[in-house]
Each structure stands twice: as C-alpha cells, then as structure tokens.
C-alpha cells in the first residue's frame, strides 16, 4: 500500500498532526520545533511519502474537480470529427479550470443518457452544462443539482434563475451575417438549421433571422428556413440543392452545417461562393481549414468556456456572481465562402 502520514509519523517518532503541520502546513494551531520538522521531512523523503489528495478532499468536502455535463440525447462528444465547436469550448473550460486550480473530469455518468445519479455523487465541486437543445428531462435533472452549476448556451431564466449562464448574442450575430450578405448584394437568403427544439439558441437564431430579414426589407417565410432533421441532414440538403438553390446565400446554424452544405453543393456542381454564398456560425479554426475558408459569425467559444468557469468558481465559493447572465458579443469573420451574387450587382 501507499505510505501514509502515519508511517511518516511513526518513523519520525511524532504524531500524524505534526506531519500534517510540517508537510502540508495545515494544522495551523500546532507549533513544531525546527529540529522535529527536519526529522519529519527526512522521514517523508526516505519513505517517499505523498499526500493523499483524495483523502484530503474527502475530509475537506471539496474535490477541486469540475464535471462536464453533456445534454441528454446527444452522443458522447467527439473531438476528432466535425467542426471544432466542442474542442473550442473544452479549451476554454480547461483553461479556466486550470487557472483556478481545478481539474476537469469527463464522466460516463454525466455524459450518458441519465446523468441524474452522477450530478450529486460528491465527486464534483461544480458542474458545467452545455447544450444547444435541452429537453424537459434535462432541465428537471439540473434543477435537482445540489452542487453549483453553470449553464452554457442556456439563459438562467430557463432554470428558474437558479444557475448563472453564459452565452453569445445570437441576435446580434445573425444580424452581422445578414448585414454582410446584404451589403454584398444578396436579397434571397435562407437559413439552414440542423435540428429544432422548442427553445434555445436554435430558435433564437431562427427568430433573429426572420426579424432582421424583415428589417432589412426582405421578409422570409417558412420555405426560407431549411430544417434538416438531425440524423440525415445530407438528404435534406441534397433535396434542396438538386432543385437548384432558390437563394443566393445561406446562413447556417453552425459551421458543421455550413461545411456539409458546401460539400454537398460541390457534388451538384454548385460552386461556393460563385454560385452560392454560405455563412457559418462559431468561427473556430475549422473555418480556416475547409475549402473555401468559411465566412462565419464568431462566437467566442473559448472565452465562453473560460468565463463559465469563472462564474462557477464564484458560486463554489458561495458568492453570487455578477452579472449572473453573461451574454458575450459575436463578431463576423469574413473568409472565402461569401461573395457578390452572380445575378446581383454589388451594393454598398
């Protein structure tokens, strides 16, 4: 077995408290003479003693560990495929956690179908939950959380204002996309969405799209919202493209969708951006990798992750973070997937 404080104490001829005091500086009421301290250190060294952080955490009732919750109904997150959405978010979460001295744990219980028992199992000082399409079941479980929790992509109001939240300004982001396309001369613009749940960012972006298109003077109807059901969106995209796109530009729910659209378009001989402009959402490094480079609304994902942890750590400390609902601005990274439409003159 591992060598414990008791072993060190025995060897040094003192009690465990003294060892705690000397080696970890924790038993603050205890005073130790320099010579004893030296003896303890010596013994620890010789035995190769290492503090059992796990035992300490158990006693302290704090684990210095943050759990990542993944929405139910999603598969376990994958880093190596698709757009870099999750990768960027994780980078932010890890950066933030490390900065505060916390570990980050991916736990099968928290990422499986039923995180309920994982949430309050004592291993986590706090949790981060991100989901772009929460379902009622999710929300109920989260409300049962006894540990501090921060929401990403989901406004606090959706969970009775019990947990702070971080998300981006979807409305402003969509406006940037439309404005950009509009200025290039596009008038027939569609929105492509992957899935659709009754609330949240998906809907927020669609609503923003409707709103701004109307304000720009080109109100849209149902046929301008392309909804691709989760599993088989290539199919939906193909159907749309095969009839020859009715629009000159597409705004996509996220970069993965935009990438899919571009790849399918290529198969139909539709060139981007010459025949069709495409705008993504997230603007991770992925956008620079694909061809053509993807014009995309930038959501500060790394920052969102990092700031979510800042909020979480405050909650763990018992504070009430201020602001409680963090909305970060979006930008627009113009790359190569958007251009003046073939049939329209450029407008300034």
Partner DNA sequence: GTGAAAGCGCTAACAC
Partner DNA sequence: GTGTTAGCGCTTTCAC
Of residues 159 and 206, the one with the C-beta less far from a second copy: 159
Q: How near is the Cβ of 323 to DNA at its closest, in Å?
A: 32
Residues that contact DNA, how many (by CB under 7 A): 31
Rounded CA gap, 174 and 203, in Å? 12
Q: For residue 35, give Cα distances in angstroms to 14, 112, 291.
A: 12, 54, 69
Binding at 103: pick from DNA, a second copy, none (beta carbon under 5-8 Å per type): a second copy
Angle at 141 between CA 140 and CA 145, to 5 degrees: 115
**Does 260 help bind a second copy (rule: CB under 8 A)?**
no
Q: For residue 119, give Cα distances in angstroms to 23, 85, 96, 311.
A: 33, 24, 21, 18
**Does 106 help bind a second copy (rule: CB under 8 A)?**
yes
Q: Report the residue from 76, 157, 217, 345 that binds a second copy according to the rule CB under 8 A.
A: 76
Of residues 5 and 228, the one with the C-beta less far from DNA: 5
Rounded CA gap, 293 and 192, in Å? 18
Of residues 15 and 65, the one with the C-beta less far from DNA: 15
**Does 214 help bind a second copy (rule: CB under 8 A)?**
no
- Sheet containing 331-333: give its strands across: 225-227, 189-193, 249-252, 277-282, 295-298, 331-333
Rounded CA gap, 149 and 68, in Å? 10
**Residues composing the chain:** 348
Residues in Cβ contact with 18 at an 8 Å cutoff, skipping those fewer than 6 apart: 9, 12, 27, 30, 32, 36, 40
Of residues 27 and 116, the one with the C-beta less far from DNA: 27
Site string for DNA, 111-150 (x = CB under 7 A): -----------x----------------------------
Residues that contact a second copy, how many (by CB under 8 A): 54
Of residues 67 and 321, the one with the C-beta less far from DNA: 67
**What single-letter DSSP state applies at residue 24?**
I
Q: Report the residue from 38, 42, 46, 58 that binds DNA according to the rule CB under 7 A.
A: 58
Binding at 27: pick from DNA, a second copy, none (beta carbon under 5-8 Å per type): DNA
Rounded CA gap, 256 and 167, in Å? 19
Place of tokens 């994902």: 301
Q: How near is the Cβ of 327 to DNA at its closest, in Å?
A: 37
Q: Look at residues 293, 268, 289, 264 and name the one whose alpha carbon lies nearest to residue 192.
A: 264
Binding at 325: pick from a second copy, DNA, none (beta carbon under 5-8 Å per type): none
Site string for a second copy, 268-307 (x = CB under 8 A): ----------------xxx--xxx---------xx-----
Of residues 176 and 301, the one with the C-beta less far from a second copy: 301
Q: Which stretch binds DNA (CB under 7 A): 13-21, 150-158, 184-192, 270-278?
A: 13-21
Q: Which stretch binds a second copy (CB under 8 A): 18-26, 47-55, 266-274, 338-346?
A: 47-55
Inter-residue contact 273 to 213 (CB < 8 Å):
no
Binding at 30: pick from a second copy, DNA, none (beta carbon under 5-8 Å per type): DNA
Give me 145's structure tokens: 């959380």
**Does 162 help bind a second copy (rule: CB under 8 A)?**
no
Residues in Cβ contact with 51 at an 8 Å cutoff, skipping those fewer than 6 apart: 5, 23, 24
What is the full DSSP assignment across 208-250?
Answer: HHHHHHHHHT----GGGEEE--GGGHHHHHHHHHHT--SSSEE
Q: Report the residue from 105, 197, 303, 340 that binds a second copy according to the rule CB under 8 A.
A: 105
**Does 267 help bind DNA (rule: CB under 7 A)?**
no
Residues that bind DNA (CB under 7 A): 1-2, 4-6, 13-18, 20, 24, 26-33, 36, 51-52, 55-56, 58-61, 122
């Amino acid at each position: 077995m591992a060598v414990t404080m008791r072993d060190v104490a025995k060897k040094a001829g003192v009690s465990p408290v003294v060892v705690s005091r000397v080696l970890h500086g924790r038993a603050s009421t205890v005073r130790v003479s320099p010579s004893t301290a030296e003896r303890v250190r010596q013994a620890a060294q010789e035995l190769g003693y290492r503090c059992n952080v796990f035992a300490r955490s158990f006693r302290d009732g704090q684990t210095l560990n943050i759990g990542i919750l993944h929405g139910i109904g999603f598969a376990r997150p994958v880093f190596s495929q698709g757009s870099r959405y999750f990768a960027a978010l994780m980078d932010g979460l890890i950066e933030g956690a490390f900065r505060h001295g916390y570990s980050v744990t991916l736990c099968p219980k928290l990422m499986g179908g039923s995180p309920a028992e994982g949430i309050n199992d004592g291993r986590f000082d706090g949790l981060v939950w991100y989901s772009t399409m929460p379902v009622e079941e999710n929300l109920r479980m989260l409300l049962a959380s006894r540990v501090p929790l921060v929401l990403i992509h989901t406004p606090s109001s959706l969970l009775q204002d019990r947990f702070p939240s971080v998300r981006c300004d979807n409305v402003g982001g969509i406006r940037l996309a439309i404005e950009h396309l509009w200025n290039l001369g596009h008038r027939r613009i569609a929105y492509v969405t992957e899935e659709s749940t009754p609330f949240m960012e998906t809907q927020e972006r669609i609503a923003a799209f409707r709103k701004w298109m109307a304000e720009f003077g080109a109100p849209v109807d149902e046929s301008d919202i392309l909804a691709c059901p989760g599993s088989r969106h290539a199919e939906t995209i193909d159907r749309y493209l095969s009839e020859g796109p009715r629009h000159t530009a597409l705004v996509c729910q996220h970069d993965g969708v935009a990438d899919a659209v571009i790849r399918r378009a290529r198969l139909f001989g539709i060139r981007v951006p010459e025949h069709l402009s495409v705008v993504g959402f997230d603007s991770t490094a992925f956008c620079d990798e694909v061809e053509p480079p993807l014009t995309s609304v930038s959501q500060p994902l790394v920052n969102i992750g990092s700031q979510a942890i800042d909020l979480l750590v405050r909650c763990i400390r018992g504070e009430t973070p201020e602001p409680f609902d963090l909305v970060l601005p979006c930008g627009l990274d113009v790359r190569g997937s958007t251009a003046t439409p073939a049939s329209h003159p450029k407008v300034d």
